[in-house]
Structure 1
């Protein structure tokens, strides 16, 4: 019989706690704190994410039912919802944001050799944002519209392993294209974006930084053709052109030539026009790169369905950002565990297993043996099959 740590404690052991405590010290997170340190707050909110708790009362009731196991989970004493609410409102959310970025760096190293399905050695990023709707009367700080509040998650997703390399949480009014000002371009990397990010001054900043981009052209693009390359129309590529911008301001913003590819889906007949600054990659690869942008949409859908970022435990801006960053940390932590233990199960399956076994004192490898629960010691019964005639 295994009498060691609980499964939750084993999961928490994958976290770099020395790094976490250094970050807490930098932001004075535990200054004059007598109960519920930042580490305990992180553990409790991570527990809430892993077990799908919906409210502070829900968290309090669930932990109170397991009082004798709290110490083994790294929680010194039962926590009241008022204490947790105060911590969410007052502990600096930047502690958890910086810690999440440390986990992201660790996860990206683990997934650096993942296969993209494309013959590329470049790092490929997908940039997009998602809006989380809030109630304006409860979250008045979340500026969005006259009758609704919201926060936005601007995310740069590394497509090797679907790990977010950059996340910025803003109010709902921040336009997507402004996120390009917050990104440090990586030379040689490819940034895939939808046409909401078409701003030629910002795209030219990527170009002069030796980075590549793939995006969709807007319908009012003012440009002329300089050269047309031969294409195989049976692949859906209608044309592959080198163009120059004609608009007075756009020509100043982007004085170099661009690549324009017109692609028609054989199944639906829909035509898309792509813009890129890479003239070396084959045109089908450019189209496949834009198609891979869908992974960031799947990432947003996944975290909204399987993590608690649509219902919040507090109403202040600090509480909301704290919950979002700890949710991101949990997502990346599960991805790290999956890679380090060489697990074939999906992240969804791992979360489902964790949600019902966190209080169990079993080795983590044993809990994650998905599909191997059948015992070889079952006796053979000479029982007729219902469908044997």
Structure 2
């Protein structure tokens, strides 16, 4: 059998060490480290995400028993206090930039979304609350007696990768982050009614960005002419409209779901799309709901190993790096397994010496009876 490094060692090679070190030098504050390094912090926190560790002591003890295997990862034994201090004080921006670099590599490998034959990118926009204890996280103000952080994500529909990410206090409104997004011209952004803002709609139109959203019940609508052409099944109305005091022409598509008999009203500035495509684009928004559900169930983004915003963001960016690692391996190996199944396999084999590509694509066993006693039968 050929020699193999541990599975974890093969995973961290995805992050070139010289690039990581240049980022670590760039994003460093305070005195120089003696034995502990940002690489040690990253490997420890990434291992915590992939193996499901639940506390700092759990992380330290889990790595300490591996002996020589962590030495070959380029890290040394460290204490819980040292890891906690690094999480609290060293800038999380290192892992934000590391995430951006890995995201670019994943996007270059991601399969094209074949559901829609559109020229521009499709982004699915939403935010999700992470409940926090206000006495431990005083910066995460949400309600009078309740704390929360809000995770804002713009999901790229090609490969379902988190292209835009930010974390704020729970009180921060989604639209404030949406206005800062640099969406490429000709792209499509899909969001729910929580992002309704007519001034932002105008900005999207001026930037050449198309959007699809639900119409609020109290929207100020001036009806226009009905659009010509045959309607797709489920589309009950398709007409031009004006919103508020905006001069731009928008479009209202009324759609009845055959399964639930619920009527939806979609507003968009994409005047040339078929009405059915508009409805399908909004239906695709469900993927970002599944993304939030997946990371909350499978990664450590609901309980945190530090209380400062920097520690929380450090853990969050490394969790998203773990998500990109799984996506990278999935795109690279071109397997049909779900990310959850891949994560479960990794959890059982992180410190085993096995080939990473064969781990997800095991060789097919040969047919035929090999046991001599069974052959007698």
**Interval of TM-score (by shorter of Structure 1 and Structure 2):** over 0.9
Residue deviations 1:22-74 (CA, integer Å, cap 9, x gap): 22222225851112211111011001111000001111221121122111122
Q: Runs of 4+ in structure 1 displaced over 4 angstroms?
A: 231-234, 375-378
Distance of 1:313 and 1:2 partners within structure 2: 39
1:387 alignment counterpart: none
Deviation at 1:203, TM superposition (A): 1.3
2:254 counterpart of 1:255: no
Contact 1:9–1:74 (CA under 8 A) maintained in structure 2: no
After superposition, the Cα gap between the structure-2 partners of 1:269 and 1:40, relative to the gap in structure 1 and judged at 3 Å, is same
Contact between 1:215 and 1:275, CA under 8 Å: does it hold in 2? yes
Using the TM superposition, give the Cα deviation of residue 21 of structure 1 relative to its aligned residue in structure 2, in angstroms.
2.0
Note the 1:8-157 alignment, pairs <5 A.
Answer: 8-28=8-28, 31-75=31-75, 77-111=76-110, 113-157=111-155
Kindly indicate whether residue 193 of structure 2 is the aligned counterpart of residue 201 of structure 1. Answer: no
Alpha carbons 2:126, 2:191 under 8 Å: kept: yes
> SS state of the match for residue 268, structure 1?
coil
Q: Deviations over 1:219-271 (max 9, x none)?
A: 011222221024656611111000113xxxx31xx321110111111222211
Q: CA deviation at 1:273?
A: 0.6
User: Deviations for 1:125-148, whole angstroms, at most 9, x for unmatched residues?
Assistant: 000001100111111111111111
CA distance in 1, matches of 2:124, 2:31: 39
In 1, Cα distance between equivalents of 2:376 and 2:134: 64
The answer to whether the aligner puts 1:296 opposite 2:288 as a matched pair is yes
Change (3 A) 1:376 1:266: closer
SS at match of 1:86: helix
Over 3 Å counting, the alpha-carbon distance change for 1:265 and 1:6 in structure 2 is same
Choose which of 236, 247, 265 in structure 1 pairs with 2:234. Answer: 236
CA contact (8 A) 2:141 2:148 kept: yes
2:338 is the counterpart of 1:339: no
Show the counterpart of 1:319: 311
- Alpha-carbon distance, 1:375 to partner: 5.1
How does the TM-score come out when normalised to structure 2?
Answer: 0.95
Which residue does 2:219 correspond to in 1? 221
User: Where does the alignment leave 5 or more consecutive residues of structure 2 unmatched?
Assistant: none
Q: Which whole-Å CA distance do the structure 1 matches of 2:284 and 2:376 have between them? A: 52
Structure 1 length-normalised TM? 0.92
**Unaligned regions of 5+ residues in structure 1, if any?**
385-389
What's the RMSD between the two structures over aligned residues?
1.8
Change in Cα spacing, 1:29 to 1:105, as seen in structure 2 (3 Å) is: farther
Counterparts of residues 240-389 of structure 1 (less than 5 Å): 240-245=238-243, 250-251=244-245, 254-369=246-361, 372=363, 374=365, 376=367, 378-379=369-370, 381=374
Instruction: Determine the C-alpha separation between the residues in 1 that align with 2:219 and 2:69.
Output: 63
Equivalences, count:
375
Which residue is equivalent to 1:163?
Answer: 161
Contact 2:232 2:276 survives alignment (8 Å) = no
Distance in 2, matches of 1:346 and 1:145, equals: 37
Cα contact 2:211–2:270 (8 A) shared by 1: yes
- How far apart are 1:197 and its partner, in Å? 0.5
Give per-residue Cα distances to partners, 1:277-336, cap 9 Å, x unaligned. Answer: 011010000000000001110000011111111111111111111000000011011111
User: Are the aligned partners of 1:214 and 1:275 in contact in 2 as well (CA < 8 Å)?
Assistant: yes
